[in-house]
Amino acid sequence: MLKGRHLIDSMDFTKEEMKEIFNLSKDIIDNTAAFAHVCEGKLLATLFYEPSTRTRFSFEAAMLRLGGQVIGFSEPNSSSASKGESVADTIRTVACYADIAVMRHPKEGAPKVASMYSSIPVINAGDGGHQHPTQMLTDLLTIQSIKGKLTNHTIGLCGDLKFGRTVHSLIKAMSRYEGNRFVLISPKELRIPEYIKNEILIKNNIEFIEVERIEEVMETLDILYMTRVQRERFFNEEDYIRLKDSYILDGEKMKKAKSDMIVLHPLPRVNEISYEVDEDPRGCYFAQAKYGMFVRMALIAKLLGVK
Amino acid sequence: MLTINSIKDGIVIDHITAGCGVEIFNYMGLDKVDFPVALIMNVDSKKLGKKDIIKIENIIDIDYTVLGLIDPNITIDVIEKEVRKEKKKLEMPERVENVIKCKNPRCITSIEHDVLQIFHLVNGKTGEYKCEYCDEINTLGR
């Protein structure tokens, strides 16, 4: 039962509950018009304490497409937070007006605090470098929809695997499904944190390898999840120059990939995927953004208990 | 060897990691009490090499949770009529509230001061606790 629940952590929902959301997402994709009024009379509050065009638009579009309405703020200076109001007080006030709330906050754990004081469902839309569970739902729905299953994939994760919260959530989530293997492609400085390796991969006997260059593993991958490698993350310029091209996906590298491999990216991209890959049907990152809206529609509908 | 007489009715906090005795003494407010107390530091110990001991000539209530957090090596002997009635081995508690603060500067608890500081034990051997809010691992104990 998802009605009235919060979504704070990527692992808050069971596999069965995730399946419920994905099934509803599919129904919405197949017949979006049939869901155009299910949230009529309902109000979504978007509490964005830091800027985020993409995620906020995605939530607002989701609610509007369900027939609901949206109130909120998109930066803290326009809210009572600038007067020093606590998250606990803000959510208790907002809960008097709205039926469901979405929160993005630069401080890790802020949506968790909100959920502890809230009488309405709270969705974490990103808390610092910590969690971004609806991106994880987006990624899984995209994989489920395009590849037809969430099991037995070889998943390449490329770029900044150390600080990328979407990468950590994806590994945790996909580790729950049978037969998935991980190929972790990053410079040494940006490898996956030890706790993910020990607590998720090794503890659960999940197959994984770590490599430095994407070219070495391209032909083995079913899914390639790209993230941006930032110059300032490198300890020395020499390593950056030596490795930077390895983390830019272009047409040449795509030639080595399987014909049914898919490329995903949480967006926004900077230069890590060449525009030429956009023309390749295997480049699925814009479709992924659309799946993000559908899965948020399903999530809102489920937490409000209207579907 | 320094000699401190045994106590009649009271509590002996033993096997304190050398150097931690003062912290525990101060935490328990033993500098302000009006009954006899003794803090003995750097006593030879087979188990620890050196240890601290606190002897309290009174039966008082002790918050074992906090003592376990400060130093899980500690043992507590309850003495009645010069006989040891009870020996307690402290363990690190599974969950602690408002005892320690999260060290992660990005954690919401760094600005939201009225929320409970909640931690969950991850590894009793290493004294690792996870913050309820940001999942940051904070290492406690010694």
pLDDT by residue (tens digit) across B98-132? 888 999 999 999 999 899 999 999 888 888 899 99
Are A66 and A36 a contacting pair, CB within 8 Å? yes
CATH at residue B29: 3.30.70.140
Is the Cβ of B132 closer than 8 Å to some Cβ of chain A?
yes
* Contact criterion met (CB < 8 Å) for A129 and B106: yes
- Which CATH superfamily hosts domain A134-287? Aspartate/ornithine carbamoyltransferase (3.40.50.1370)
Q: Which residues of A belong to the active site? A: 54-55, 83, 104, 132
Instruction: Give percent of chain B above pLDDT 70.
Output: 96
Give me the average pLDDT of each 10-residue run along chain A (307 residues): 96 97 98 98 96 93 98 80 86 98 96 98 93 96 98 96 88 96 92 89 96 94 91 74 82 97 93 95 97 98 96
Q: Taking 80 as the threshold, does the pLDDT of residue B2 lie above it?
A: no
* Shared domain check, B76 and B22: yes
Quick check: pTM over 0.80?
A: yes
Does one domain contain both B70 and B120? no
Measured CA to CA, the distance from residue A117 to residue A96 in angstroms comes to 12
pLDDT at B3: 67
Structural domain span for residue B54: 10-89
Residue A233 is predicted with a pLDDT of 66
Q: How many whole angstroms separate alpha carbon A274 and alpha carbon A204?
A: 36
The predicted pLDDT at position B1 comes to 56
Amino acid at A32: T
Residues B16 and B58 in one domain: yes
Q: Look up the CATH number of domain A36-131.
A: 3.40.50.1370
Which band of pLDDT confidence, cut at 50, 70 and 90, is reported for residue B142?
Answer: very low
Residues B114 and B82 in one domain: no
Q: Smallest CA–CA separation between A128 and chain B, in Å?
A: 7
Tell me what the pLDDT averaged over chain B comes to.
88
Of all residues in chain B, the one with the smallest CA distance to A112 is B133
What's the average model confidence in pLDDT over B73-79?
90
| ipTM of model | 0.87
Q: Are residues B20 and B63 in the same domain?
A: yes
Asked if residue B3 belongs to a domain, the reply is: no
Identify whether the C-beta of residue A185 lies closer than 8 Å to the C-beta of residue A157.
Answer: yes
Count of domains forming chain B: 2
Backbone angles phi, psi at B128, to 5 degrees: -90, 130
Whether B30 and B85 share a structural domain? yes
A55 CB-near residues (< 8 Å, 6+ apart): A104, A125, A126, A134, A135
The answer on B70 and B132 residing in a single domain is: no
Of B112, B131, B137, the CB nearest to A86: B112
**Is the model more confident about B13 or about A244?**
B13
The CA-atom distances, in angstroms, between B46 and each of A136, A291, B41, B50, B67 are 53, 64, 15, 8, 22
- The answer to whether residue B23 sits within a structural domain is yes
Q: What is the pLDDT of residue A119?
A: 98
User: Is A130 in Cβ contact with B137 (below 8 Å)?
Assistant: no
Please tell me the predicted confidence (pLDDT) of residue B66.
79
- Residue A239 is predicted with a pLDDT of 77
In chain A, residues under CATH classification 3.40.50.1370 are 36-131, 134-287
Chain A residues with CB-CB distance to B132 below 8 A: 109, 112
**In A163-177, which positions are buried (b, 16+ CB within 10 angstroms) versus exposed (e)?**
ebbbbbbbbbbbbeb
B89, B107, B128 - which closes a domain: B89
- B104 and B63 within one domain: no
Identify which has the larger pLDDT, B92 or B55: B55
